Structure 1
Amino acid sequence: MKASRLILISSLILLIFSCGKKEETCQLDEDILDQELELTITRLEQEFFSAKTQEDFSFLLEKHPEFTQIYLQADLYPSLDTLASELLTIHQDSAMQVLNDSVQQVFTDFSDVEKELENAFKYIKHYFPEFKIPKIYTFVSGFNSDLVVTEDIIVIGLDYYLPPSHTFQPELARYMAERYDRPYIVPMIVTAISSRFNQTNPQDKTLLAEMIYYGKAYHFTKAILPCTSDQFIIGYTPDQISESFANEEFIWAHFVENELLYETNPFEIRKYMGEAPFTDAISTKAPGRLGRWLGWNIVDDYVFNQDMSLYQLMGNPDAEQIFRQSGYRPRPPA
């Protein structure tokens, strides 16, 4: 992409154009929210940092067996006593104590995240009645684990979600670290949950298949969190979203002219799908993961043009069919 194409378009026009596509005024469906649903978040870091002895930790390990087995991987230790002893040492470390104090200050009130999760789970239950509500724990991992999502439990490593300006930060590239903030917690969880409903063809190793997979994941997240800004779903800044839409024709032309859709070389696919500060195969001005963003646009068009339900979309493993029936065309700049 020529850098000038990204620079010369006025920011006002870019903002209006991008908002017109996805950032519409929304309202949550009260019928969906009227469902009864029990959701509790266990602030497990508070219990662990309050423990003083090995016996205290052994008690906590037995009290929370799913957390112990799935998150702490107790089977890797000779015994629970060994694990309890190691946890005691970790949690008595002064640096860990200071880190936890910071987390408690920032996340004293977690009710906003809890409410957002509750609403999200109600939406998932509406579209996928078989969905079972997992147990949810918060924890302070010492920057060892940000988020664990399984069918049984969700563990949120709160230390990862301290504000980007906070003294304590995970060892991540800046462009990734900026996505680890409070507003991203629930969208990350919902996107992770989407994978259990996202049917794929394991024989299809093309770039297109991966684009459609992520497009379905982001479409799912937007459907479950209709009032959540796209930036918290895909992890682009508002400017990056605006510039991507303004240059959609150029981006699509790059994919078509270079015959990328049916590319199967993992190295080439990673250029457009992998984590990176920019998609340098197109331009250093273009954000990373542009293939995922493009896949989201294709899937949106497929759902719109085929009048497809979320359940039907996620159950369709045929990336080629989704692409062909999407009628996708890039939007010309406003």
Structure 2
Amino acid sequence: MQNYRRHIEEHLLPNFEDKALAGILRTDVDLWQKRESAVYAASSVRTWRATLHVIFEDAIDEGLITTNPAARRRGRGMRAGRSRGRGPEKVITDALGILLTAERAALLSGRDDEFVAVVLKGYTGMRWGEIVGLETEFARPTSIRVEWQLYELDTGEFVRCPPKDDSYRTIDAMDWLSALVANHVARTKLAPCPCHGRTFVFRGQGTARAGGHQGAKLVDVARRAEVSTGTVSNVLNHPDRVSEAKRVRVEQAIADLGFVRGGTASENAAHWRRNGFSTWLFAPAVSAGIRRRHRRKPAPYPCSASLGPAFQPEDGAPATGPTPAGSRSPRASHRTDSATPTEP
């Protein structure tokens, strides 16, 4: 419901709230869709038009109007619609690509959850919400049962709901894939999450937050101490640049407000955030973080310098991400190697 409310408030009301229902014509809707399509993705605009269509259908049921100006004309003869604009099937990757992506994601996170999740998604085609919402009872010896998904709202809340379009299904799994998931569940000793009270196959990463930044913010400290936010930042990062009097005021404000850098962190996150997983794990894992101006031939490189001779920094450009404890920094290794003369 939250997403529908945003669609209405941000994209429908600004264009139609001043018009009477009976005064909205099909041409008005088509013109609005054309303007929106010039700025937003076509799939998003279609979703907003579908929402508008439902609103007009409700108005028809109430007897307020007789026709739906947002209704699309149906095709004649052969089936028209989505199939008409579909292109040929694309091969995204192969078995080796899935393995390399999963391996890099696990190295970036330092856990096995990401490795198992990427492999499972690559071989089953499960949607993101279905992967996040996979409960241990539905990871069976020879199959994966898709019964629920976790839908992420803008507030960060996860809603347990049926899969998209009621696409309940049982996916046959190879013996090795079922064993991979079962061993992961047994090894990680999973516990029920605090938000749903259910045990999920995959755990979140980082700290959980409810509804964005909690507690006092940097600007609150600045107002309390009667200084600029830049001064507060300097007190936190470069105290030598701030006078003694201002520093004391800022430190007192921090103590009074209970300010914590980055917000008040609570327990570990129970589930992955879509944007965080994509930005910090999946995208770097797919691209390997290869620098465009690297003067050597690009090669896939998991970001660890302690995996043995098969994965040495000289094989390619280093991937971005945190360096595992006890290993050399990939960036440092890259700088050392680049200083070594090489043959042209």
TM-score by length of 2: 0.23
| Structure with greater proportional helix content | 1
Which fold has the larger relative contact order, with Cα–Cα distance below 8 Å and residues 6 or more apart in sequence? 1
Query: Rg larger in 1 or in 2?
Result: 2
